[in-house]
Amino acid sequence: MRLAVFLIFCFSTFSIAQIQNDSIDIYSQNFESSFNEMKYDLALISADKLFTFAKQKNESTAQDKAKVYKAKVYYKLKMFDQSISLIEEIIKKNYATKEEITNFLEANNILANIHYSKYEDDKAIAKYFYIDSISEANKFINDVQIRAMQNIGLMMLRGYNPANNKKYGKAKDYFKKAYELAKSSNSLTEMHVSGLYYGSTFVESENPEIETALKFYDDANKYFFENKIVKEFSDTYWAYASLYRKINRNDLATKYYKEFIEKSKTFNDNNALIRAYWAYASFLYEIKKYEEAIKNYNAVIQILKNEKNIDYSIISNSYYYLSDIYKSRNENDLAYQALENYVTYRDSLEQKTNNQLFSDLEIKYQTEKKEQEIELLKTKNELSEKQKYIYIAIAVLLLVSGLFLFLGYRNKIKTAQKLNELNELKSRFFANISHEFRTPLTLIKSPVQQLQNNISNEEQNKQLQLIDNSANRMLELVDQLLELSKIDSGKLQIILKKGNLQHFFHSIVEPFSFKAKDENQEFTSTIENLDFESHFDKDIITKITTNLLDNAFKYNEEGKPIDFVTKKENQNLIIQVRNFNNQLKEADYKKLFERFYQKDNAISGFGIGLALVKDLVELYNGTIKTNFNNQQISFTVEIPLKKDITNAIVINENIEVISETSTPIEVTSNTELPILLLVDDNASIREVIKDIFSSNYQILEASNGKEALKLAQKEIPDCIISDVMMPEMDGFEFTKQIKSNELTSFIPVILVTAKTSEEAHLKALQNTADAFLTKPFNHEVLKATVSQQIQERKKLQERYSQELILKPTEVVINSVDEKFITKLETVLETAIPNSEFNAETFAEEMHISRMQLHRKLKSLFGVSATEFIRNERLKMAADLLKNEKLSVSEIAYNVGFNDVGYFSKCFKEMYHVSPSDYQKK
């Protein structure tokens, strides 16, 4: 009862926490969306809602996040006082978690941006360096740190114009650091923004590296376009324009400057538009297109005059260049007026933006940092002096402890060696005794089965069935003991082969679905997210799954459901089996993996099935967990879906592994591959079998016996694999129909079924099935069975090819086939002398299509209809040459050859001697 209350409380707490997190995330997403679209009024509303919600839930970190959001909006609206007020509430707090550090850094970044906007460059750059140092101290790479490095680089370039030939060295270092930080943290947007800035330093340097810059530009442009990041996408046009300007491609530079202006107009950001007009005007001034340059400089001035915080450097430089243009055009009044404006705004420009200031600030920051390090080293030296004696004492103590540990370790090694020797002896004992068990068990089963057939007494038959079942159980335990001995001795290897997991599990689960119906149990199976190819050990996973399901069926409480679930999670395969057991308690399930665990004498033991499962899972580098709740017990297995597993052999998909008991099928082309017909109403089972045979066979598929019968009569396959339980027509009736039809009677039929009873096996053989296998089947056994059936048919073909005349009673073994051969013989006796007799006429006489005749003869005798006619003519000719006193030409005409030369050639190819030499023998 207490456990149930605790679980309910945990679940409720988790659910409430999840709902709160979802709400915070929704408000945050709404804010980011509105802010990125520059809908600042909506962004403020989202930030206020987040703050209210966080306050109700007493989430202090989320409240700070909402304040950061509002401060960002106020900064964009140039409401600096309101923004600073919110920032000061955040930065005076202590921070511990990553989320708290992020809020702290964001607040400092906004404050630095405000200083930058106010031309308080010393305060701005100090803040940016502070953000970088805090991030490094906490080993926490973040977008705020990356943007700080970008802003330092931009400050290095502030006030740049073509006249002052500014060097990009320092800026390049910071842009590079921003780019590398973004790349290492997989922050794609910031990586491409930094890449754009970093690329520009290769263009504007003393030795331009155009190809390097283009690589950064192209990558950024593609990313911004695909992700619809409008502002940064527009900045790439400026970058391209600057690059083409540098290499004197003025046509392309003009195109990209104009596109930069148009893109900047699409979003509500005057700073971007000012930069666009300014860049284009500077370019026009440089190439002496003064009329267009005047228009763009005036556009810059007009926008700046309407701004609350005027960028004095840009507006003063704009007037300076306008004055120079007017002077070159002898428009002295306009030149003088522009010069006056230049002087006015220049005097207003604070002198903190010159390059020397940045250098001094950087040196000052680095010097302070070095002084702190020196002071720290000094303190450490003092501490080390005091700690020297402590270390000596610790060293002596460690030496003594090490000696004791060494002696203990050596004893453990010896003990471990003895234990390993005992384990090896135990494994050998299990292996030897398991092999010895097989012979007496076989000797027990054989007479029991004979007695079952001879005794009609029902009570005695029940007792004999009990003996037989117990013998089968002992054989199963013997197999498990052998498997455990292989694991204990380290001889069991994992064989990883590629296959479809969904189809594979369908083939495993199907027999248990049948068993559930047969035993009137409720069984559900769920196979999720597994319809893909992966490398896995089919044998081990089959043993794990079947043992868990066998255990669930064996020990399930009557009337309760059994559930099976398998799926993929985080590159791992999850297998879960749930059933009900009212005899176990929570304390018992931890011992279920012990070999032959038995709770008490009243309850049957659990054998070694679960112990084998645990050992196989551990061999696979997986985990198995057990949960017991309200009498429901569940086993959850987690297995890695990867190739690099210890003790694993990977079989590549282009390598065909052939069983020692099977003979490979030799083919020369895809059209000559043997035809295999798969019949099963379960598409997944068909896919599993198809995967096994697709490389060496042509595959035909049918979902029931009725459909398969039509397909078999039309295509005449070389072999058929069929399920037993199917709609329309079951496997038994299908086999009977195949074997009773002269077109298909020779085709080997292999029945594969979930029915494991001997009655089912007997019925299959009574319906003339050639082989019978149970599900889940061993893939190599199935391949070997199919190969053996086809090879047996080939032996008959070879025997026919050595006969001089057609002898049906000696060639075939099936009475239906014998009738077909007799019919062939009757048609040939009258038709062979006719030289016009061919494959088409042959098919008409046999009352089947030419393709059916071709497939029948090919499968029965290994030759086509045309080859069959020719061979029969040559065999008849050989018989005549041996027994009749006729000339070679007369015999050739008598057996249907019009050309004696062609007859001699064909005869020599078949018998390796000429007709005349054959006659002389």
- What is the Cα–Cα distance from 738 to 751, expressed in whole angstroms? 13
Distinct helix (H) and strand (E) counts, the chain = 34, 13
Sort strands 562-569 and 523-527 into parallel, antiparallel or unpaired.
parallel
Hunting for tokens 């039309």 — which residue is that? 714
* Bridging pattern class, strands 675-679 and 648-651: unpaired
Q: Which of the listed CATH numbers 1.10.1270.20, 3.40.462.20, 3.90.1170.50, 3.40.50.2300 matches domain 670-795?
A: 3.40.50.2300
Give average pLDDT by consecutive 10-residue segment, the chain, 921 residues. Answer: 41 45 79 81 88 88 90 88 89 82 89 84 85 85 86 71 50 86 85 81 78 84 76 74 81 83 75 79 84 85 74 78 85 82 71 46 54 60 67 81 80 75 63 60 65 72 73 69 66 81 85 83 89 86 88 85 91 91 68 60 56 85 86 89 82 48 43 84 83 87 90 87 86 87 83 67 70 75 85 69 47 59 74 75 77 73 78 81 76 79 82 80 68
How far is 467 from 471, CA to CA, in rounded Å? 6
User: φ, ψ for residue 578 (rounded to 5)?
Assistant: -125, 135
Q: What is the second-level CATH architecture of the domain 1-140?
A: Alpha Horseshoe (1.25)
Is-contact 809 818, C-beta < 8 A? yes
Give me the sign of the Cα torsion angle 342, 343, 348, 353: positive
The pair of structure tokens assigned to 864 is 């086509």
Q: Do 795 and 787 meet the contact criterion of CB atoms below 8 Å apart?
A: no
Best CA proximity match to 565, nearest among 556, 577, 552: 577
Which residue in 618, 544, 619 sits closest to 576, CA to CA?
544
Rounded to whole angstroms, what are the CA distances from 197 to 156, 276, 278, 433, 748? 12, 16, 18, 76, 73
Domains of the chain, residue spans: 1-140, 142-267, 268-353, 387-473, 493-651, 670-795, 803-920
| Cβ atoms of residues 679 and 720 within 8 Å | yes
User: What are φ and ψ of residue 521, in 5° steps?
Assistant: -110, 150
CATH class of 493-651: alpha beta
Euclidean distance between CA atoms 205 and 526, whole angstroms = 63
User: Which 3 state secondary structure label does DSSP give 636?
Assistant: strand
In Å, what is the CA distance from 359 to each residue of 108, 155, 363, 703, 896?
22, 11, 6, 80, 107
Count CA atoms within 13 Å of residue 74 on its CB side.
Answer: 21
Q: Which long-range contacts (CB under 8 A, 24 or more apart) does 234-241 make?
A: 234/260, 234/263, 234/264, 234/266, 234/272, 234/276, 235/196, 235/260, 235/272, 236/196, 237/263, 238/275, 238/276, 238/279, 239/196, 239/199, 239/200, 239/203, 239/213, 241/279, 241/280, 241/283
List CB contacts of 833: < 8 A, sequence separation 6 or more.
894, 895, 896
Is the backbone peptide bond immediately before 776 cis, with ω within 30 degrees of 0? yes
Reading the block at residue 424, the tokens are: 């090896």
> What integer pLDDT is reported at residue 6 of this predicted model?
41
- Tell which CATH architecture fits domain 268-353: Alpha Horseshoe (1.25)
Rounding to the nearest 10 degrees, give the CA dihedral for residues 843, 848, 852, 857: -50
Phi/psi class of residue 728: alpha, beta or left (left: φ > 0; alpha: ψ in -120 to 50)? left
Three-state DSSP at 631 gives coil
**Contact of 641 with 634, CB cutoff 8 Å:** no
What gap in Å lies between CA 98 and CA 113, rounded to an integer?
A: 22
Distance CA 152, CA 124 (A): 9
Q: Which among 547, 475, 550, 544 is positioned nearest to 519, based on CA atoms? A: 550
Q: Are 161 and 317 in contact (CB under 8 A)?
A: yes
What pLDDT was estimated at residue 2?
Answer: 44
Q: Which CATH class is domain 142-267?
A: mainly alpha
- Reading the block at residue 47, the tokens are 């930030």
**Total residues belonging to the chain:** 921
Pick the CATH number of 803-920 from 3.90.1170.40, 1.20.120.80, 1.10.10.60, 3.40.720.10: 1.10.10.60
Chain center to CA of 820: 54
Q: Which of 843, 914, 842 is nearest to 877 (CA)?
A: 914
CA–CA–CA angle 634, 638, 642 (5° rounding): 165
CA of 143: how far to CAs of 50, 106, 736, in Å?
Answer: 22, 9, 74
Q: What is 712-753 written as a DSSP string?
A: HHHH--SEEEE-SS-SSS-HHHHHHHHHHSTTTTTS-EEEEE
What pLDDT score was predicted for residue 814? 55
Distance in angstroms (rounded) separating the CA atoms of residues 795 and 860? 10
493-651 and 1-140 share a CATH fold: no
Nearest partner of 155 among 357, 295, 7, 329, judged by Cα: 357
DSSP state string for 64-97: HHHHHHHHHHHHHTT-HHHHHHHHHHHHTS---S
One-letter amino acid for residue 416 of the chain: A
**Buried-exposed string 220-230: b where 16+ CB fall within 10 A, e elsewhere:** bbebbeeeebb
Give pLDDT, residue 755: 61
Check: CB of residue 124 under 8 Å from CB of residue 146: no
Measured distance CA(744)–CA(737) in Å, rounded: 9
Contact 293, 325 (CB under 8 A): yes
Q: How far apart are CA 753 and CA 78, in angstroms?
A: 78
Give yes or no for a contact between 440 and 494, defined as CB atoms under 8 angstroms apart: no
Spatial separation of the C-alpha atoms in residues 842 and 831, rounded to whole Å: 8
Confirm if 294 and 325 have CB atoms less than 8 A apart. Answer: yes
Question: For residues 420, 426, 432 and 435, what is the CA-based torsion angle, rounded to 10 degrees?
Answer: -110
Using CA atoms, how far apart are residues 675 and 559, in angstroms rounded to an integer?
Answer: 46
| Structure token pair of residue 432 | 């030897």
* Alpha-carbon 510 to chain mean position: 26
Element spanning 563, H or E: strand 562-569
Sequential DSSP letters for 660-697: TTS-PPP-SSGGGSPEEEEE-S-HHHHHHHHHHHTTTS
662 vs 782: CA distance, rounded Å: 10
Q: Where are the extended beta strands (E) located within 844-906?
A: none
